[in-house]
């Protein structure tokens, strides 16, 4: 059985600066596309609070230089999600897309900052061959 973290708890953690939560840790239902069932017992106010947190993270995390690549990555992931996402409410689709874009843009930033230079050399040794 998947444990669902309360939206209020996630909001409180983010307010305290614990913004390092992974999307799957914060919202396990998103990982298996069953969020609609998990949201049935959640108040509309809690849902809107989480929606605002995701939107705020998106605004703060997805700079213009990464927006196009992040959007492309989100579109690729969402297109493979099947009918569950296709028929989800528009706002939910938007939030999932924004969350994916936040993760992708953060990963791009980390790569550009050199956080994975050693790993990239191991993953792609052909990049250094002359």
Average predicted confidence (pLDDT) for the chain? 76
Tell me the longest C-alpha to C-alpha distance in the chain. 59
pLDDT-based confidence at residue 35 (cuts at 50, 70, 90): low
Alpha-carbon dihedral sign for residues 40, 44, 48, 49: negative
pLDDT in tens, 90-110: 888 899 999 999 999 999 999
What is the pTM assigned to this prediction?
0.62
Each domain of the chain, given as residue ranges in start order, spans 7-118
Cα separation, 51 vs 122, in Å, equals: 38
Q: What is the pLDDT of residue 34?
A: 52
Q: What is the pLDDT of residue 87?
A: 87
Cα separation, 37 vs 41, in Å, equals: 8
If one compares 47 and 123, the residue with the highest pLDDT of the two is 123
Residue 65 CA, distance from chain mean position: 18
CA nearest to 23, candidates 68, 66, 61, 64: 61
Alpha-carbon dihedral sign for residues 20, 100, 41, 34: negative
33 Rama sector, left if φ>0, alpha if ψ -120 to 50, beta otherwise: left
Any idea which residue has 């992708």 for tokens?
A: 104
Residue 19 contacts residue 57 (beta carbons within 8 Å): yes
């Amino acid at each position: 059985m998947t444990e669902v973290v309360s939206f209020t708890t996630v909001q409180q953690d983010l307010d305290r600066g614990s913004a390092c939560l992974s999307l799957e840790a914060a919202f396990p239902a998103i990982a298996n596309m069953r969020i609609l069932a998990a949201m049935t017992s959640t108040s509309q106010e809690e849902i809107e609070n989480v929606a605002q947190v995701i939107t705020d993270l998106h605004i703060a995390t997805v700079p213009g230089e990464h927006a196009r690549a992040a959007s492309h990555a989100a579109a690729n992931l969402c297109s493979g999600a099947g009918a569950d996402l296709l028929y989800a409410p528009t706002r939910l689709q938007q939030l999932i897309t924004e969350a994916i874009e936040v993760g992708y843009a953060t990963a791009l930033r980390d790569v550009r900052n050199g956080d994975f230079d050693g790993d990239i050399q191991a993953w792609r040794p052909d990049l250094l061959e002359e």
